[in-house]
C-alpha cells in the first residue's frame, strides 16, 4: 500500500459556459518521505491537484487516499504553504504559528511545550530574530518562511507547497530552497511542491511529475531524480547527471508540451483595442 | 499606534517645534497649518456678518457672529447663576438645620433636595448621554446581525429585503410608534430611566443600525479566500474562525459603518428631541423658537454651532478609536 494515492482523479469546474474539465485521470502514488515536484505550464491544473490533496477541492471522479484513509476535507495533517504566504496580517509571526500550533496540539502539549515548539519551528526557518514582527514589517522572503514554519509546526503527514518561492528574488529563493532541503533531510517529511522552475525541481525532488497542458490535463511523464543527498547547488552545476535531468524536463516542457501560445492573435486583439481607443 | 500617538497627530508640527526649535521648513508648515484655516474662518465670519445684516426676520436681524458670541456668554452665565442659586439653597438649608440641631440635638430636621432649572449645558449632557446609549444599543444589535448575514449568504438573502426597506425610513416616522409602544410597555412606579429618554434612545437606535450592519456584513463577506483556506486547513472551530479571522478582517469596514452610524445617530437625535419635546439640545432649539424673544435666534445659532461641534468631536473620537483598533497601520483613515 502506498502512503499517498491519487486514483483516477477527474476535476470539472462548472462555469457559465458549461463544465470545464481541468484534470483528466490523474494517477499518482507517493511514498512516505518522498519529495515530489509538480511542474507544468501555467493554467494546466497544478494548483487544482494540490487543492484536491489538501481537501479544499473535491474531485469530481476518483479520489485521494492518505495512509489508507480517504481525504474528503481539509485538515492540518495535510498542511499547505500557500503561494502568497497567506499569513494573517493582524498577527505577528509568532502568533501566526501559534494559531496553527494551538489548534493542532492544544490537547497534547502543555503551554510551555507549545511555546517551545513555536519557537523551535521559527528557528528552523531562521526567523527567531523577527518572531514578534507583523507580516507588513518583514520582507517577502521572511513571510514565506513564516508560512513554511506555520505548516511545519502542524507536523503534517504531507506538506503541500504551491509555488512557495515563486514571488521571491533568485538569492532569497536559493536560500529558502536550501532551508527546505535541510529541514526535509532532518525531519523526513513527505512533500509535494508545485514549481515553474526547472532547476528548483531537479535540485529538490526525488521525482518530478510533469503535467500535460490543459484543458483535461493529466500526468505526462514522471522523472526519477537519483542524485545523492545532501545536494549542493554549486557542485551540481557541472554535474552531467544533473544536467541530463534538467534537459529532460526542459525537453518535456518546451518540445513535447510546447505551449501553443496564440501570440499572433493576441497581438491582433491588442491592436484592435488600440484602434478602438483611437 | 498608541493612544497618545493618535492624540498627538494633529499637533505634530507644534510638538516637533517644541522639541527641536524652529527650522525654516517647520516655520513654513506651521504657517500653513495655522494661516489657512484662520483665513477660511475669517472669510466665513465676514460673509456671515454681511448676510446677517441683510436678513430681517420678525424677531429682528438674523444673528451675526457678535450676537452669537453674546448669547453664548449669556448661556454660560445663566448656567453659572443657576448652579450658584442651588448651591446657596443647600447652604442655607445646612445652616438652618445646624442651628436647629444646636438648640435641640433631638430635633427632627428635613434635608430637602433642590433641583436647578434645566440649563443649556444640562441639555447638552442629556443629548450626549442619549446619543451614546442609542448608538451603543444599535451597535450591540447591528454587529452580531452583520456578522451572521455576512457569514451566511442565505441569511443575507432572507434579511436583506427587510434591511433595504427599513433603512430609508425617517426617524420622524418611527417616533410616534416608538412613543406609543414605550408608553404601553415601559410601565414602572419608579422608573430608572425617564420615558422620554427611552423613546429618544430607541428612535436613534432604529435609525443608526443600518450602516453598521451593512458594513459589517460586507466586511465579513469579503474575507479573502486565502485566509478562509488557512482557516479550513487548520480546521478552526466556528468561534475561533470568527474571532481570529473574520472579525479582524472586517474591522476596517465595521468602523466605517460605526462612524456613519454615529453621525446619523446625532442628527436623528436632535430631530427626535425637537419633535417629541424630549429633553436635549433639540428641545432647547424648539423652546427658543416657541419663545420668540429677540434673543432667540442668537441662542438657536449657538445651539447649532454646539451641535455641529459635538458632531465633529464624536467623529474624531471614533476615528481615533479606529486608528487604535485597526491592525493595518498603513491604511489611511480619514
Ligand atoms: N474554481 C475554478 N472555477 C473554474 N475554473 C477553474 C477554477 N480553478 C481553476 N480553474 C481552471 O482550471 C485550470 C487549472 O487551474 P490551476 O489553478 O490548477 O492552474 P495552475 O497549473 O496552478 O496554474 P498556475 O501555474 O498559473 O498557478 C485553469 O484553466 C483554470 O482556469
Ligand atoms: Mg497555481
pLDDT at A262: 57
Residues A88, A67, single domain; the answer is no
**Rounded to 5°, angle at Cα A207 from A202 and A210:** 85
CA–CA separation, B323 vs B11, rounded Å? 16
Residues A169, A66, single domain; the answer is yes
DSSP character string of B152-181:
-HHHHHHHHHHHHHHTT--HHHHHHHHHHH
Cα distance between the two ends of chain A: 64
pLDDT at A268: 47
Domain, as residue range, for B150: 122-185+192-325
Which residues in chain A have their CB less than 8 angstroms from residue B226's CB? 82, 84, 86
User: Would you say residue A267 has pLDDT above 60?
Assistant: no
Output the CA–CA distances (angstroms, integers) from residue A85 to A105, B71, B158, in the order listed: 22, 62, 36
CA–CA separation, A169 vs A240, rounded Å? 27
Domain count, chain A: 2
Final residue of a structural domain among A155, A188, A222: A155
Q: What are the residue ranges in chain B where pLDDT is below 50?
A: none
pLDDT at B20: 67
Closest ligand 1 atom to A11 CA: 12
Residues B306, B174, single domain; the answer is yes
Of A80, A90, A91, the CB nearest to B233: A80
Quick one: average pLDDT of A39-67? 93
Closest CA to B90 of B108, B65, B113, B72: B113
Final residue of a structural domain among A91, A125, A155: A155
Output the CA–CA distances (angstroms, integers) from residue B72 to A85, B68, B120, in the order listed: 59, 6, 10
User: Would you say residue A270 has pLDDT above 50?
Assistant: no
Domain count, chain B: 3
DSSP state of A224: E
Residue A260: pLDDT band (50, 70, 90) is: low
| Digit-coded pLDDT (tens) for A11-20 | 999 999 999 9
Residues B18, B150, single domain; the answer is no
Cα B42 to chain centroid distance, Å, stands at 27
Nearest-10 crossing angle of helices B195-221, B120-151 = 30
Ligand 1, atom 8: closest residue by C-alpha: A48
DSSP character string of B29-70:
HHHHHHHHHHHHHHHHHHHHHHHHHH-EETTEEPP-HHHHHH
- Whether residue B294 lies inside any domain: the answer is yes
CA–CA separation, A189 vs A187, rounded Å? 6
Joined grid coordinates for residue A35: 519529495
Instruction: State if residue A275 touches ligand 1 by the CB under 6 angstroms criterion.
Output: no
Residue A167: pLDDT band (50, 70, 90) is: confident
Joined grid coordinates for residue A108: 497534547
pLDDT at A172: 82
Ligand 1, atom 9: closest residue by C-alpha: A48
- Residues 242 to 261 of A: which have CB under 8 A from any B CB? none
- Whether residue B9 lies inside any domain: the answer is yes
Domain, as residue range, for A233: 4-71+158-277
Residues A169, A50, single domain; the answer is yes
Residues B25, B127, single domain; the answer is no
Residues B285, B150, single domain; the answer is yes
* Range with the poorest average pLDDT among A56-65, A157-166, B99-108: B99-108
3-state secondary structure of A20: strand
Residues A46, A163, single domain; the answer is yes
Closest CA to A161 of A15, A13, A23, A53: A53
DSSP character string of B63-128:
P-HHHHHHHHHHHHHHHHHHHHHHHHHHHHHHHHHHHHHHH-TT--------PPPP-HHHHHHHHH
Residues A182, A63, single domain; the answer is yes
- Whether residue B320 lies inside any domain: the answer is yes
Beta-bridge partners for A208? A37, A223
pLDDT at B56: 85
CATH number for the domain harbouring residue A40: 3.40.50.300
User: Would you say residue A54 has pLDDT above 50?
Assistant: yes
Cα B212 to chain centroid distance, Å, stands at 16
Which residues in chain A have their CB less than 8 angstroms from residue B245's CB? 88
How many cross-chain Cβ pairs, A to B, lie less than 8 Å apart? 53
Antiparallel, parallel or unpaired: β A158-162 and A78-81: parallel
- Residues 212 to 251 of B: which have CB under 8 A from any A CB? 226-227, 229-230, 232-236, 240, 244-245, 248
What ipTM was reported for this prediction?
Answer: 0.85
Can the peptide bond before residue B71 be classed as cis, meaning omega within 30 degrees of 0? no
Residues with Cβ within 8 Å of residue B318, at least 6 apart in sequence? B255, B258, B259, B262
3-state secondary structure of A28: strand
3-state secondary structure of A37: strand
Closest CA to B310 of B332, B331, B284: B284
The label of the residue with cell 412606579 reads: B189
Helices (H), A66-169: 93-105, 111-124, 140-153
Residue B107 near residue B250 (C-beta atoms within 8 A):
no
The label of the residue with cell 456671515 reads: B48
Backbone angles phi, psi at B205, to 5 degrees: -60, -45
Residue A218: pLDDT band (50, 70, 90) is: very high
3-state secondary structure of A253: helix
| Digit-coded pLDDT (tens) for B258-279 | 999 999 999 999 999 988 888 8
- Whether residue B58 lies inside any domain: the answer is no
Residue B311 near residue B262 (C-beta atoms within 8 A):
no
Longest Cα–Cα distance of chain B, Å, equals 84
Joined grid coordinates for residue A204: 529538490
Of B235, B245, B330, the CB nearest to A76: B235
| pTM: predicted TM-score of the whole model, two decimal places | 0.80
Residues A238, A126, single domain; the answer is no
- Whether residue B26 lies inside any domain: the answer is yes
Residues with Cβ within 8 Å of residue A238, at least 6 apart in sequence? none
pLDDT at B104: 83
Instruction: State if residue A20 touches ligand 1 by the CB under 6 angstroms criterion.
Output: yes
Final residue of a structural domain among A129, A155, A181: A155
Half-sphere exposure of A196 (CA within 13 A, CB side): 14
Q: From A24, A26, A42, A43, give the residue whose CB has the most ligand 1 atoms within 8 Å, as the site to mutate.
A: A43
Antiparallel, parallel or unpaired: β A35-39 and A207-211: parallel
A119 alpha carbon to ligand 2 midpoint, in Å?
A: 30
Amino acid at each position: 500500500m502506498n502512503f499517498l494515492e491519487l486514483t483516477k482523479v477527474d476535476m470539472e469546474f462548472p462555469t457559465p459556459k458549461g463544465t470545464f474539465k481541468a484534470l483528466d485521470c490523474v494517477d499518482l502514488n507517493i511514498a512516505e518521505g518522498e519529495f515530489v515536484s509538480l511542474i507544468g505550464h501555467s493554467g494546466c491544473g497544478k494548483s487544482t491537484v494540490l487543492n484536491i490533496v489538501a481537501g479544499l477541492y473535491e474531485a469530481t471522479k476518483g479520489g485521494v487516499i492518505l495512509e489508507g484513509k480517504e481525504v474528503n476535507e481539509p485538515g492540518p495533517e495535510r498542511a499547505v504553504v500557500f503561494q502568497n504566504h497567506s499569513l494573517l496580517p493582524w498577527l505577528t509571526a509568532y502568533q501566526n504559528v501559534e494559531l496553527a500550533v494551538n489548534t493542532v496540539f492544544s490537547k497534547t502539549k502543555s503551554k510551555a511545550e507549545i511555546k517551545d515548539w513555536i519557537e523551535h519551528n521559527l528557528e528552523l526557518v531562521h526567523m527567531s530574530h523577527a518572531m514578534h514582527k507583523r507580516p507588513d514589517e518583514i520582507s517577502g522572503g521572511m513571510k514565506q518562511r513564516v508560512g513554511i514554519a506555520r505548516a511545519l509546526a502542524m507536523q503534517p503527514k504531507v506538506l503541500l507547497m504551491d509555488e512557495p518561492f515563486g514571488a521571491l528574488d533568485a538569492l532569497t529563493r536559493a536560500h529558502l530552497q536550501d532551508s527546505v532541503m535541510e529541514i526535509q533531510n532532518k525531519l523526513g517529511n513527505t512533500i509535494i511542491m508545485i514549481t515553474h522552475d526547472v532547476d528548483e525541481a531537479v535540485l529538490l525532488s526525488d521525482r518530478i511529475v510533469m503535467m500535460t497542458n490543459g484543458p483535461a490535463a493529466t500526468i505526462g511523464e514522471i522523472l526519477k531524480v537519483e542524485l545523492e543527498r545532501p545536494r549542493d547547488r554549486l557542485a551540481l552545476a557541472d554535474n552531467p547527471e544533473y544536467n541530463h535531468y534538467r534537459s529532460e524536463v526542459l525537453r518535456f516542457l518546451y518540445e513535447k508540451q510546447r505551449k501553443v501560445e496564440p501570440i499572433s492573435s493576441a497581438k491582433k486583439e491588442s491592436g484592435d483595442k488600440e484602434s478602438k481607443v483611437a | 499606534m498608541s493612544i497618545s500617538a493618535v492624540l498627538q497627530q494633529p499637533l505634530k508640527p507644534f510638538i516637533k517645534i517644541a522639541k527641536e526649535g524652529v527650522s525654516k521648513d517647520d516655520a513654513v508648515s506651521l504657517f500653513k497649518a495655522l494661516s489657512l484655516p484662520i483665513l477660511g474662518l475669517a472669510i466665513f465670519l465676514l460673509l456671515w456678518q454681511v448676510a446677517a445684516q441683510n436678513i430681517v426676520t420678525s424677531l429682528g436681524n438674523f444673528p451675526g457672529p457678535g450676537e452669537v458670541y453674546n448669547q453664548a456668554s449669556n448661556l454660560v452665565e445663566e448656567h453659572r447663576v443657576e448652579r450658584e442659586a442651588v448651591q446657596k439653597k443647600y447652604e442655607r438649608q445646612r445652616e438652618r438645620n445646624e442651628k436647629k440641631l444646636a438648640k435641640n440635638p433631638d430635633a427632627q430636621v428635613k434635608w430637602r433636595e433642590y433641583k436647578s432649572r434645566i440649563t443649556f449645558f444640562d441639555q447638552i449632557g442629556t443629548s450626549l448621554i442619549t446619543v451614546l446609549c442609542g448608538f451603543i444599543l444599535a451597535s450591540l444589535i447591528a454587529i452580531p446581525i452583520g456578522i451572521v448575514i455576512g457569514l451566511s449568504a442565505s441569511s443575507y438573502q432572507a434579511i436583506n429585503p427587510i434591511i433595504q426597506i427599513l433603512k430609508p425610513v425617517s426617524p420622524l416616522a418611527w417616533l410616534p410608534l416608538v412613543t406609543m409602544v414605550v408608553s404601553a410597555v415601559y410601565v414602572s412606579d419608579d422608573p430608572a430611566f425617564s420615558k422620554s429618554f427611552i423613546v429618544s434612545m430607541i428612535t436613534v437606535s432604529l435609525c443608526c443600525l443600518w450602516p453598521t450592519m451593512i458594513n459589517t456584513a460586507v466586511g465579513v463577506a469579503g474575507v479573502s479566500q486565502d485566509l478562509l483556506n488557512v482557516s479550513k486547513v487548520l480546521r478552526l472551530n466556528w468561534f475561533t474562525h470568527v474571532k481570529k479571522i473574520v472579525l479582524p478582517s472586517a474591522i476596517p469596514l465595521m468602523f466605517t459603518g460605526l462612524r456613519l452610524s454615529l453621525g446619523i445617530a446625532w442628527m436623528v437625535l436632535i430631530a427626535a428631541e425637537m419633535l417629541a419635546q424630549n429633553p436635549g439640545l433639540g428641545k432647547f432649539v424648539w423652546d427658543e423658537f416657541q419663545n420668540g424673544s429677540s434673543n432667540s435666534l442668537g441662542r438657536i445659532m449657538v445651539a447649532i454651532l454646539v451641535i455641529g461641534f459635538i458632531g465633529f468631536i464624536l467623529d474624531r473620537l471614533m476615528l481615533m478609536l479606529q486608528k487604535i483598533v485597526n491592525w493595518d497601520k498603513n491604511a489611511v483613515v480619514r
